[in-house]
Amino acid sequence: MQNNLLSGLKEHENKLLTIWSQLLIDGGSDDGAVEEEESKEFASLFLKAAAAAEGKIQDSQEFEKVEDLIVGIASSRGKRGFSPRENAQYLITFKEAASKILSELIKDPEQLFDANLQLNAALDNMTILTFEAFMRGREDIISRQVDEISEISTPVITVWEGVVALPIIGTLDSSRTQIVMENLLQQIVDTGSSIAILDISGVPAVDSLVAQHLIKTVSATRLMGAECIISGIRPEIAQTVVHLGIDLTGIITKASLASALKTAFDMLQLSVVKRKIV
Amino acid sequence: MERIPILKMGDFLLVTIQVDLYDQLAENLESDLINTISKHSSKGVLIDISAVSIIDSFMGRILGNIAVMSKIMDAQTVVVGMQPAVAITLVELGLSLNGVISALNVEKGMDLLRSKMQISDNEEQDYDDDIE
């Protein structure tokens, strides 16, 4: 039966905290890195779990609370701009402090080794958790930004009565094309426009997939009963399209938004004339 | 048996589909419509699908068939009021309904049919002129 080697730490909580914060400061973390409240809470929870555990600390119920706490600490530190390295350092110095105290408490080398092993296993696991929490925090931010970008990046502009334009900026992928298509079609219905201009001058490159998406958008617009003009085709895009062997002949393409608008006016039988000064 | 009403408006036939189409209903519509075209020798067919929220590949094909059949019977088909979601579905299914002319709403569809009629009238006129 393995007796609880780490329970002895509980009585030396204050000493542990002192050594820990000293180590953190020595380790080059600025003073702000040692969050007194956080650290105290963590240390006391961890020591409580260690004292309550029978056998492995990781299996105890108390330990789950410690894990939750460290995940919370790691993600809040991540938001405040701490690097994952600093987070890991935070736990590693705690381990160092705990080992120091253990070596004072336990004299038998074999027992000391066991105790250290237990401590290592528990804290290493938590270090991994801090990394995971940090990554998750970052991924949340990224996915939120992706959502925001796709929301703001598909504005449909009414340029004239019966003519809507949609400038596309940035790379087109499947999910974005879907949003572009839905927005454009919805806007056509809402405004009753019979001509839609798709301006791709802000699209850096066109591959066969993007071209396929464009063709789909044009077909869908036609099915709705509106005509779609693609404008802003840059020379390099024209070259790629031809090299890829994509057939855009059924689609009205114009070099610039201005010429697309002119074509739209022609289709609506409108003409722009310069006023004569009498 | 349930049927979709076909209304005659001068030279045109007006079909407004107010319910979601199921296969049998669509097939009946197809044959009814072709018979009505032949009965009134109509020049144009306007199908309003603004209330239809789901179109599958079968229904897409029926629409295409109607367009081709009416074309053979010398009537132009215009499909009006297609919902964006329906248009996207049809494109994803690879059905671009090439024979079908679309318009945004009934009003624009009527204008389109009238302009088509005028063009064909003029052609006939030209043809007559040539003979004389």
B51 near A CB under 8 A: no
Which residue from B79, B83, B105 is facing A192, i.e. has the nearest CB?
B105
Task: Match 């296969």 to its residue by tokens.
Answer: B23
The residue of chain B nearest to residue A162, with distances taken between CA atoms, is B104
**B70: closest CA of chain A, how far (Å):** 18
Per-residue pLDDT of chain B (132 residues; tens, 9 = 90+): 678 889 998 889 999 998 888 888 888 999 999 999 988 988 899 999 988 888 888 888 888 888 888 888 888 899 999 999 889 888 888 887 877 889 998 999 999 889 888 877 777 666 666 554
Structure tokens at A169: 């900026």
Could you count the other beta carbons within 10 Å of the beta carbon of residue A118?
21
Please indicate, yes or no, whether residues A20 and A145 belong to a single structural domain of this protein: yes
Q: What does R_g of chain B's alpha carbons equal in angstroms? A: 15
Query: Is the Cβ pair B96, A223 closer than 8 Å?
Result: yes
Question: Of A181, A188, A216, A224, which to mutate for an interface test with B (greatest number of B Cβ within 10 Å)?
Answer: A224
Q: A117, A150, A183 — which closes off a domain?
A: A150
Residue contact B104–A221, C-beta within 8 A: no
A39 & A124 share domain: yes
Q: Does A163 reach chain B within 8 Å, measured CB to CB?
A: no
Residue A273 lies in a domain: no
**Residue A205 sits in a domain of what CATH number?**
3.30.750.24
- Measured in degrees and rounded to the nearest 5, phi and psi for residue A254 equal -130, 155
Q: What is the pTM of this model?
A: 0.62
Q: Residue B14 has what pLDDT?
A: 93
Q: How far apart are CA A174 and CA A106, in angstroms?
A: 63
| Out of A193, A194, A223, closest to residue B87 by CB | A223
Q: Assess B96–A contact: CB distance below 8 Å, yes or no.
A: yes
Is A270's Cβ below 8 Å from some Cβ in B? no
Can you name the residues that pair with A166 across neighbouring β-strands?
Answer: A198
Measured CA to CA, the distance from residue A113 to residue A119 in angstroms comes to: 10
CA angle A167, A223, B63 (to 5 degrees): 170
Touching check for A223 and chain B: CB below 8 Å? yes
Q: Which of A150, A165, A188 is the last residue of a domain?
A: A150
Does a structural domain hold residue B1? no
- Best interface-test mutation with A: which of B82, B107, B115 has the largest number of A CBs within 10 A? B82
Beta strands in chain B (DSSP E): 6-9, 12-16, 44-48, 76-80, 101-103
Number of domains in chain B: 1
A89 and A130 share one domain: yes
Residue B68 falls inside a structural domain: yes
Which residues 6+ apart lie within 8 Å of A274 measured at CB? Answer: none
Q: Is residue B106 part of a domain?
A: yes
Residue of B nearest to A194 (CA): B104
Q: Are B13 and B37 in contact (CB under 8 A)?
A: yes
Q: Based on the fold, state whether residues A223 and A141 are members of the same structural domain.
A: no
* Amino acid of residue A257: L
Q: Is residue B29 part of a domain?
A: yes
Domain limit, last residue, from A129, A150, A171: A150
User: Would you say residue B108 lies in a domain?
Assistant: yes
Nearest CA in chain A to B87: A220
A272 domain-assigned = no
From first to last of its 278 residues, chain A has per-residue pLDDT tens of 345 666 777 777 778 778 877 777 777 665 555 566 777 777 777 877 777 766 566 666 777 778 888 888 888 877 777 788 887 888 888 888 888 888 888 888 888 888 888 888 888 888 888 888 888 888 998 999 888 877 777 788 899 989 999 998 887 777 777 888 888 898 898 898 999 999 988 888 788 888 888 888 888 999 888 999 999 888 888 888 888 888 888 889 888 899 999 999 999 999 888 888 87
CA-based nearest residue in chain A for residue B88: A220
All residues at 6 or more sequence positions from B27 whose CB lies less than 8 Å from its CB, including other chains:
B62
Nearest to A42 by CA among A23, A20, A25: A20
In a domain, A2, yes or no: no
Tell me the C-alpha distance between A155 and A216, whole Å: 19
B90–A223: do the CB atoms touch at under 8 Å?
Answer: yes
Contact B26, B58 (CB under 8 A): yes
**Chain-centroid distance, C-alpha A152:** 17
Backbone angles phi and psi of A14, in degrees to 5: -65, -40
Give the total number of structural domains in chain A: 2
A171 is in which domain, residue-wise? Answer: 157-267
Residue of A nearest to B103 (CA): A225
Specify the residue for token string 């974005």: A176
**Strands of A227-231's sheet in order across:** A157-160, A163-169, A195-202, A227-231, A252-254
Residue A206 placed within a domain: yes
Strand partners for A167: A199
**Domain presence at residue A163:** yes
Q: Is A79 on the interface with B (CB under 8 A)?
A: no
Range(s) of the domain holding residue B55? 6-131
Nearest chain A Cα distance for residue B132, angstroms: 33
A216 in contact with chain B, both atoms CB, cutoff 8 A: yes
A30 is a domain residue: yes
Residue B18 placed within a domain: yes
B84 within 8 A of A224, measured Cβ to Cβ? yes
- Domain annotation covers residue A74: yes
Best of B77, B78, B91, B93 to mutate (most A CBs within 10 Å, chain A): B91
A181 vs B88: CB contact, 8 Å cut-off? yes
Which CATH number goes with the domain that contains B72?
A: 3.30.750.24
Closest residue, chain B, to A222 (C-alpha): B102
Instruction: Check whether residue A225 and residue A107 sit in a common domain.
Output: no
CATH of the domain at A95: 1.10.490.130
Task: Please check whether residue A90 lies inside any domain of the structure.
Answer: yes
Asked, for residue B114, whether it belongs to a domain, the answer is yes
Question: Does residue A107 sit in the same domain as residue A60?
Answer: yes
